Each structure stands twice: as structure tokens, then as C-alpha cells.
Structure 1
Amino acid sequence: MHTGLKVGIFATALAAAFGSAYGVGKAVGPVMPEAPAARHAGHTAQNGTASGAAAPDGLQITEGGYTLDLKTPAVAAGTPAELRFAVVDDRTGRPVTAYRPAHGKELHFIVASRDLTVFRHLHPRRAADGTWSTPVDLPAAGGYRVFADFTPDGAREGLTLGADLAAAGTYWPAEAPRPAATAEVDGYRVTLDGTLRPGEPGALTLRVAKDGKPVTDLQPYLGAYGHLVALRSGDLAYLHVHPDGEPGDGRTSAGPGISFTATAPSAGTYRLFLDFRHQGTVRTAAFTVRVAGADGATGGGDRKGVEGGHQETGGGHRH
């Protein structure tokens, strides 16, 4: 569709965003019972289905006794704004003020458009009362999803909660990024190799090059040479995985390859966003991955395995 839809007021944008939320789980199909979500930093399943299967991360606004309270449910596209939110302890009704840090941060915060063409990995600041805030400037109107990835102090397991965000403005639906073997970002070429499989671990390797030469001096960022976020197209189920190894462990090199192990919760199409740091700047490379089920179907086309390419709109990092 090539006709712009003018969203005149926030209420209209919100209605569109919340309406899309009612379709969660339908666009891609049910999560396979044998396919637990890959989780990071000790994350384990916390909300199961009747069969005992774990739902993927990020689909719930409330889980494990905590609720994500997004205090800024709408912004204007193309205009700097401040997002404010809190993680509420359902037992007390009060915002959480103590967290167990992971990779140098108390909480990791992701914003992604529902068409997966815009991605932001933000680093909000927490006030003494437990309210988090971060600046954001979303380039395109439409529906977004925010993810808060955290572990409350004293909790055994981490959580990823999600909520809907609307960006008001003239909305132009974007087509899914075309598959390609590499992603280009700021003069860097990142190549993705490997296979994601539903319900079982798969190895992924991302290799970074600049000006045709392998990059062998990647810099640590949040305690790793790279961070990988995967979102399932349709419902934006969330996977957050980290590399195999870490800087200073005596076996992990500073590039050009960054290796990960990840498990897809189901067949379908996923967008992968790799954050890496080089020469003092964090950059994000984005890929499209189609995961085939046992019958060879991907739920999003007839191509199998790892396919990639297409830089997310406007970069991916804000501090």
C-alpha cells in the first residue's frame, strides 16, 4: 500500500497500536511446545502454557509478579521526546528501586517498530523513586514495542516485559527488509553465518570487516564484544542472547568473528540486531532470518536458514 494515512491525534495512533496487540501469536502461529525461548544472563522460563511450555519473552506486560508501567504510551514521530516508565512490584504496588546488574546495566531497554525497520537499544536513567527515563526520537509513525530486560535484586531469574508504544504522524507501511548475506553500516560489512532452529540451540557467527579487511580489535561493550537481540516478525517475541565467551577470558578474540548460541521458539521470520563497538562507537547491523520447522515451512516464505541484510532505520543506539 502506498497511500499515507494521517494520524491526527494520539488516540488514533494508540488504537492502531493496541489493535495490533490483540493479534499477538496469530501472525506467526503458535509457539511449539518443545521450543523454550532462549534467555540470557540466567533467564529461565516463568510463564507456561497448559502443556508446560514457556512463552517467549517480551509478549507479556505483567509476568513473575512484576508489571511494566509505560508512562509515555505515545510520542510524535520525528520529534525528540522523553520516555518514562517504571517496573512495578505487584506485591507492593510500588516501583522497583533495586536491581541486579547484568552486563554493566541494571536494566536494558529496547524499542522496535512493529515492521522491524526501526530499532533502538537505549540506556535509561533511574530516579530514586524507581521511575526510568530516556530520550528517544523515532523517525517513522506507527506502532512500536518496548522491552525492559532486567533482574530485580534478590530474584533468582530475570524477566523481559513488553508494552506497546505509538508514534503519531503520517504513516507509510514499510515492506519487510529484503534478504541478503551481509549488512552494511557506517562503512562496516557484517556477515552472518549459521542456522537458527526451533526448539534447539543453533550456532551463529557474525564477522565484522571494514574497508575489506577483517576487524580484529573490537572493543568491549557492556562486558562483551557483541550483543544480539532477535525479534520474531508478527508478534515481536523477544530473544536476547550473548556471545560464546567474553573479553579477557583467555580464549575469546576481539574479532573478526563473534559467536552466539540461540534457540528460536518457533518457525517463522526473525530480525536480528547486532550491537558492536569499534573505534569508540557502537553500531548496529540488522539481518533477516527465516527459521524452518520440521516440515520445512518457515511461515514467512520458502527460503530456509539464515538470510540477512538491511540496516535498521536511523541507527540503533542512544545513550
Structure 2
Amino acid sequence: MKNHSGHDMAGHNGHGGARPGGLSVSENGYTLEFDSTIFSAGAQTVTFRVTGPDGRPVTEYTPEHEKELHLIAVRRDTAGFQHVHPVMDEKGTWSTVVTLEPGDWRFFADIHPAGHDGTMTLGIDASVAGPYDPRPIPEATGIARIGEYTVALGGELLPGEASELTLTVSRNGRPVTDLQPYLGAYGHLVALRVGDLGYLHVHPEGAPGDGSTEPGPEVTFMAAAPSGGTYRFYLDFQHNDVVRTAEFTVRTTAVPRPDTAPGTAPGHTNHHHAHH
């Protein structure tokens, strides 16, 4: 199973415990640099660049899921999630507008620099001035409601092992069967590990126009947790020309499955490599 970056998530960092992305501001010689990491509350313009191993801003990228750069903003308490697509000028400086509440934030840049073997996710902290009222992590219910829409999460997130998750979209109690493609898929899922905001970026099985993937109501993903713990899921889906985000809290424990042989790392079962 591969994440957005094209890595085998369950084996990316050794035996069954994929190291999530976004934990470092620099990787493989590439560094995320913001012009400022201190902001006022409200709609704010953020400007930044990615410098390469030569110290210069990167100006050429390989598009991934229809965009050269995906920027995710989320407060450290997992509130305020935003997925935006900045615009780059000729000098390699990116800019976009995000809406920020007071508190500590984390920004993630998901990129594939041209000429680099594969993609990466870089992360950086920022602070937003003002009285901060942190919110508790919502309970794990498996149901998210966004206006007239309800999204149900089915399946089990397993540590170190690829497992199938199904998100079912309905509107006013009726299944939605005409989801619109968004970033080349019928759904776009970001998962963050609570505690350090380790970043997993996954996409659904199949693709629009492949002859077999239906435009709803179900969107199926393969996902693997790098460890036990609590995760926050953010599902972006598009319907009636509007992108909406459904949020979930998902818990998993680092307990080997019964079919895992003694002495074998979780995730190294025979069916582990069946989905890519």
C-alpha cells in the first residue's frame, strides 16, 4: 500500500512501522522556509519557499495529484484543518491565504521536486497571536456530519499493516452516487497522529474513469498506522462543485493480529503487499 508520496507506508521505515512524514522541516537536502512563522488571527497570507540541496529555492516540481504543491494547515489540537494549493512566482516563492485562529499551528508541504526520486512531506511550526482556547480531541464515533451530508467510516485502522477503510457519503439520508473528482480521485484523505501530528497522506483505491470505480457513495482507502495511538482523519470530497471536509477520530492499538507469526513484525503477513 502506498501513500500520497508513493512510499510503501507499512514498510517505509523498516519492519512494519512506517515513519510518518511531516515531522521534519528538512529532508534529503530540501528545507521548508516560511517568511514568517508568527501570524495574527484571521485570514492571513502565508509566503514560503522550498530550498534545495544547492541552497536555492526550488522552481520546478513534478505534479502529484494534479498539483505541484499541497499545503496543509492544522492547529496543534487538530482543529482548523485546511488543505490549500498555493501559487508560485518565478523566483520559487509560494503564497496562499489561510484562516488562522490563535494557537500553535503546524504546516505541511507535500512536494515532489523535479529530478528528485519520489515525494516528501516537510513540516514547520507557526504561532498565531491571541487568547488560545485549546479544544479536546473529539470522541471516536465513526460518523461525521457536514450540513446536509453524513459520512460514515467503516473498517479498522491497524498498526503497521495495510487495512481497508470505507467512507460512505450520504445527503439527507440518501446515498450520494455522483461525487465529483477532486485532485484526481473521489476522495482525498489526510491522517495525522495525535501527539506529534505525524502525517499520512493516502488516496482511495481506483480512480475516476478507470471503468470500475463508482462515484460514490463508497470511497475505499488502504491505510496503515505507523503505531498504536489516536489519529485524526480529514476526508475532502467534492459534490455539487463544493469541496467539503469530514473529520474523524480513530484509535488503534499496537497489538499484533492473530495471524501474525511469532517473531514477525506486524505488517509482514502475506496479504500485506496485496494492495498498491
Question: Where does the alignment leave 5 or more consecutive residues of structure 2 unmatched?
Answer: 258-276
Distance 1:189 1:295 in 2: 32
Distance 1:39 1:243 in 2: 10
In structure 2, the residue matched to 1:128 is 90
CA RMSD of aligned residues (A): 2.1
Distance 2:256 2:79 in 1: 29
| C-alpha displacement of 1:182 | 0.7
Which structure has greater strand proportion?
A: 2
Question: Where does the alignment leave 5 or more consecutive residues of structure 1 unmatched?
Answer: 1-36, 297-319
- Counterparts in 2 of 1:251 and 1:137: CA distance versus 1, 3 Å: same
Deviations 1:249-290 (A, max 9, x none): 001000000000011110000000000000000000000000
1:218 to 2:179 alignment: yes
Q: How many residues align?
A: 256
Distance 1:190 1:55 in 2: 28
Give me the identity figure in percent: 50
In structure 2, the residue matched to 1:113 is 75
Deviations 1:66-111 (A, max 9, x none): 001122201112x221001111002x11010000001110011100
1:102 to 2:64 alignment: yes
| C-alpha displacement of 1:43 | 3.2
| C-alpha displacement of 1:59 | 0.1
Matched-pair contact (CA < 8 Å) for 1:203–1:260: yes
In structure 2, the residue matched to 1:317 is none
| C-alpha displacement of 1:216 | 0.1
The amino acid across from 1:217 in the alignment is D
1:164 to 2:125 alignment: yes
Deviations 1:11-30 (A, max 9, x none): xxxxxxxxxxxxxxxxxxxx
Return the match for 1:150 from 104, 111, 117.
Answer: 111
Q: Helix, strand or coil: the match of 1:95?
A: coil
The amino acid across from 1:87 in the alignment is V
Matched-pair contact (CA < 8 Å) for 1:204–1:261: yes
Q: Helix, strand or coil: the match of 2:179?
A: coil
With normalisation by structure 1, the TM-score equals 0.76
Listed as ranges, the matches of 1:178-217 within 5 Å are: 178-217=139-178
With normalisation by structure 2, the TM-score equals 0.88
- Counterparts in 2 of 1:48 and 1:215: CA distance versus 1, 3 Å: closer
Distance 2:79 2:8 in 1: 28
- Counterparts in 2 of 1:250 and 1:52: CA distance versus 1, 3 Å: closer
Deviations 1:128-155 (A, max 9, x none): 10000001111x2111100000101112
The amino acid across from 1:71 in the alignment is D
| C-alpha displacement of 1:174 | 1.2
- Counterparts in 2 of 1:65 and 1:44: CA distance versus 1, 3 Å: farther
